[in-house]
A = this chain, B = another copy of it.
Amino acid sequence: MDRDARLQEWERRAQPYLFIASTLFLTSYSVRVLDPGLSPAWYVLWETVTVVSWSVFVAEYLARLVFSRDRWHFVRTRWLDLIVTVLPLLRPLRMIDLHERMQLRRDAPGLGLEARVMTYSGLAAALLGYAASLAVYHVESSAPDANIHTFGDAVWWACSTLTTTGYGDATPVTARGRVVAVGLMFVGVALVGAVVGSFSSYLMRSFRREGER
């Protein structure tokens, strides 16, 4: 119990530093991908920032894993931590989780459950869409038969995928680009689920309230 409490204390204290590291990771990766005219010196600098911030995430996760008593329990209950350590572009997702927990601790949810679900799924969709656009633009821009040529094309593709519209005028053609796309498609289905489910739930409650009046 003591050990768990110390783990939680550590996690609470480490958050601000991890937040700075995740901002640095996202910024350095974005700059490297989006600015083709970067001088070699700057490129190396930004690459170092990317690598160092990623190392911080991996080191912090491993440290916690080694420290925790029941390691399999740790991996299972903190699966989101594992995902954002392997795919650091998604780390800002962790902020949503933190915000939610802080809200619950203060016992002041502020917004209703549906409004929070809508806000969180909107933020998650925006972050995932941006990360997927970056990654797909990164891997597709050098493919010979690509139809995603600019970052604008990648954003356009990401929006059409997230809403499950799928025009097909801009689609990844490389294996790595398609793996990212498959992830985004299933997020699209979940996003539709979150919006639709929240809306349905909101309607049901409105009715109950109307009935009680």
Contact partner of A204 (CB less than 8 A), chosen from B196, B204, B206, is: B204
Looking at A82-90, A134-142, A163-171, the stretch in contact with chain B turns out to be A163-171
Would you call A106 an interface residue if the criterion is a C-beta within 8 Å of the partner chain's C-beta atoms?
Answer: no
Q: Flag if B163 contacts A175 (CB, 8 Å).
A: no
Q: How far is the CB of A211 from chain B (nearest CB, A)?
A: 9
Closest 4 pairs (CB-CB, A-B): A165-B166, A197-B200, A167-B168, A197-B199
Q: How far is the CA of A169 from the CA of B182 in the complex (A)?
A: 14
Would you call A31 an interface residue if the criterion is a C-beta within 8 Å of the partner chain's C-beta atoms?
Answer: no
Contact partner of A196 (CB less than 8 A), chosen from B113, B163, B193, is: B193
Q: How far is the CB of A109 from chain B (nearest CB, A)?
A: 9
Q: How far is the CB of A121 from chain B (nearest CB, A)?
A: 10
- This chain: how many copies in the complex? 4
Contact partner of A191 (CB less than 8 A), chosen from B156, B161, B168, B189, is: B189
Contact partner of A166 (CB less than 8 A), chosen from B166, B186, B206, is: B166
Residue of B nearest to A112 (CB): B207
Annotate A171-185 by CB proximity to B: 1 below 8 A, 0 otherwise: 100010010011001
Would you call A7 an interface residue if the criterion is a C-beta within 8 Å of the partner chain's C-beta atoms?
Answer: no
27 pairs from A and B in contact (CB 8 Å cutoff): A113-B203, A113-B207, A156-B178, A156-B181, A159-B186, A163-B164, A163-B185, A164-B189, A165-B188, A166-B167, A166-B168, A167-B167, A167-B168, A168-B168, A169-B171, A189-B192, A192-B192, A192-B193, A193-B200, A196-B196, A196-B197, A196-B200, A197-B200, A197-B202, A198-B203, A200-B201, A201-B203
Q: Flag if B203 contacts A192 (CB, 8 Å).
A: no
Q: How far is the CA of A192 from the CA of B195 in the complex (A)?
A: 9
Q: In the assembled complex, which residues on chain B have CB atoms less than 8 Å from the CB atom of A207?
A: 113, 201, 205
Q: A189-B195, A201-B200 are in contact. Are A165 and B169 (CB under 8 A)?
A: no
Q: In the assembled complex, which residues on chain B have CB atoms less than 8 Å from the CB atom of A178?
A: 152, 156
Q: In the assembled complex, which residues on chain B have CB atoms less than 8 Å from the CB atom of A117?
A: 203
Would you call A58 an interface residue if the criterion is a C-beta within 8 Å of the partner chain's C-beta atoms?
Answer: no
